[in-house]
Amino acid sequence: MALLEVNDLKVHFRTDDGIVKAVDGVSYTVESGQALGIVGESGSGKSVSSLTVMGLTRFAGNAIIEGSIVFDGKDLLAASDEDMRTLRGNDIAMIFQDPLSSLHPFYKIGDQLVEAIQAHRDVSKAQALDRSVEMLGLVGIPEPRRRIDSYPHEFSGGMRQRVMIAMALINDPKLLIADEPTTALDVTVQAQILDLIQRLQKELDTAIVMITHDLGVVAEVTDDIGVMYAGRIVEYADKEAIFAAPEHPYTWGLLKSIPRLDSPRGEELVPIPGRPPSLILKPSGCAFHPRCPYVREAHTKIDPQLAPAADVGNGGGHRHEVACLLPGQTRRALWAALRTGQVPDQVLENVDVPETAIDREAVGEVLAPAGTEVADGVVAAEPVATEPAPPAVTDGLSQDAGPDAPRR
């Protein structure tokens, strides 16, 4: 059994304007020692899904939570508040997005670390203080015995983030959730924080869920990647597949909107047009269709389901799922053209996108509209290329798909 199993998780919020479907049917698993990256634009549901794992959304009086979250054999949605307090900060820990607002400004760093230990361990204050000094040294705080008496405002942004990592790991959790741990940090500090998380993961065998909008971060740290859009995972695969052979137009948009090391100087980036949809009034059919350059009429009526991608059908031996109505062969042809540097308008001139054909697997049990041709999405055609994509860079970090290639 996986350490964490999230199955069909839905988190909706009642508001005066309507029901906000922040998370709308998310499923994933995380094994011990594994790192999962969850990426997407702001408002895609990344943080809400992980806050629900921590049991923090249950305190919102307007939350409607469905599905299941099983951690180490325990059903977290059925757990009492007392049980969750026992798990939170002990077996499950979280690095929050803004360390300055997460650390109490009136208390010294040492007092806050000691409190985190004594809440879960029957130890003296002196023992907890020694453990706090040890953890500050482990995360690279210089002179930890002296700095433990400092206040949060006396630390730089990178040092505060290191304190948050120390606090999250101080009780040796089995699962660490990192919510945008490198936001607002400069490139050098960002790289140091990522190296630190990787090192601690290996030393402590901690499972990690990394939440970010930065593809360079997930390329550096994670094993698998889930791409979220409008409250759902639209593509899930190992990071090599996501960077070398992505199959969802939204994933293509994310990859094409960041600078690459092999691109000519001065080449313009290709942003994703439009903006994320309202989670109260989501578009009919595929939620991405208002922004998708390859949309067809059927895509506005049918809501695609996650289905195995072509590389899985060809015996890839790993999980690669995509929620897209474009036929599999069409998706692969579109990405092949995009990889050559063409923009979507140029791609549409060179690749035939069927007006009526849709992916059989992505339709699921939904009845296709009359006149629509349902095509097989997983076909035993030529093997999908799995060689690493050319390295890309986000915020100065190398985004390298190959496991053996240099990171920076």
Q: How many CB atoms lie within 10 A of CB 78?
A: 10
pLDDT at 149 over 60: yes
Fold entry, domain 4-222: Rossmann fold (3.40.50)
Helices (H) and strands (E) in the chain, counts: 15, 16
Greater confidence, 347 or 363?
Answer: 347
For residue 257, the model assigns a pLDDT of: 85
What value does the mean pLDDT take over residues 10-16?
96
Tallying the residues shown for the chain, one arrives at: 408
Q: Would strands 232-238 and 321-322 be described as parallel, antiparallel, or unpaired?
A: antiparallel
- Sheet containing 224-229: order of strands: 92-95, 175-179, 207-212, 35-39, 224-229, 232-238, 321-322, 307-308
In angstroms, the Cα distances linking 280 to 16, 43, 277 are 11, 12, 9
Banded model confidence at residue 394, pLDDT cuts 50, 70, 90 = very low
Distance separating alpha carbons of residues 132 and 148, to the nearest angstrom? 8
Express each pLDDT in 271-287 by its tens digit: 899 999 999 999 999 99
Region(s) of the chain under CATH 3.40.50.300: 4-222
Tokens 């090391």 belong to residue:
261
Express each pLDDT in 247-271 by its tens digit: 999 999 999 888 877 777 777 788 8
What value does the mean pLDDT take over residues 208-220?
88
237: left (phi over 0), alpha (psi -120 to 50) or beta: beta
Distance separating alpha carbons of residues 399 and 388, to the nearest angstrom? 11
Q: At what angle do helices 109-118 and 157-169 cross, to 10 degrees?
A: 20
Reported for 250-257, long-range contacts at CB under 8 A and 24+ positions apart, including other chains, are 250/288, 250/291, 250/292, 251/227, 252/334, 252/335, 252/338, 253/291, 254/39, 254/215, 254/227, 255/215, 255/392, 256/338
The pTM of the full predicted model, rounded to 2 decimals, is 0.85
pLDDT at 381 over 60: no
H or E element: which one contains 110? helix 109-118
Greater confidence, 92 or 369?
Answer: 92
